[in-house]
Amino acid sequence: MKKYFPTILALVLCVCISTNFARQSKVITIDKKTEKAAVTAPKEIISAQQTFAIIKPDAVEAKNTGKIIDMILQDGFEIKKMEKIQFTADQAKTFYAEHKGKPFFDGLVEFMTSGPVIIMVLEKENAIKDWRKLIGATNPAKADKGTIRQLFGTKIPKNAAHGSDAPESAKREIDLLFFR
């Protein structure tokens, strides 16, 4: 028995490696009409994530909504929900509750209630991180070139867009504004 041990071990290793490879590798399907092979990633590897986005009152008023939506689509996000609303003061205070007591809080509430906004649920892999990257730094003056805040923001708090900063906040914000 002892002398077969290395062979058995090698066999077990082979099975483990090939099972894992099959799970991670792409799936190849043949299109019956064209007889061409199509390579797709198996469903279990694709894990879509949702985030909450706002086109803020300054960008809506400046008619930048269309340009921002185009950037969202070009970046590969799927818009799962979209609505034009106007925040009430209570909604704005609850939405930005983490900033209550800070010197900019009242000005932020005033800005967010000053006109209509577009609220959206965006979906793609790594949606939270990727949307924050696309909108850029909070201060438009410090945002990277080509980001939404650099292109359409002006002076803080007027920074054109909002993005959730974590899965918990995305869930909270979607519940607060789409299931109000």
Least separation in angstroms between residue 156's CB and ligand RTP is 5
> C-alpha distances in angstroms, 63 versus 2, 60, 118, 119?
77, 5, 12, 15
Q: How many CA atoms lie within 13 A of 84 on its CB side?
A: 8
CB of 76 to ligand RTP, least distance (A): 20
Residue with CB nearest ligand RTP? 157
Which three-class secondary structure string do you get for 10-58?
A: HHHHHHHHHHHHHHHCCEEEECCCCCCEEEECCHHHCCCEEEEEEECHH
**x/- site string to ligand RTP, residues 92 to 111, per CB under 6 A?**
-------x----x---x---
Question: Residue from 159, 170, 173, 174 that binds ligand RTP (CB under 6 A)?
Answer: 159
Q: Which stretch binds ligand RTP (CB under 6 A): 67-75, 80-88, 154-162, 172-180?
A: 154-162
Which residues in this chain contact ligand RTP in the complex, by CB under 6 A?
Answer: 99, 104, 108, 138, 156-157, 159, 162-163, 165
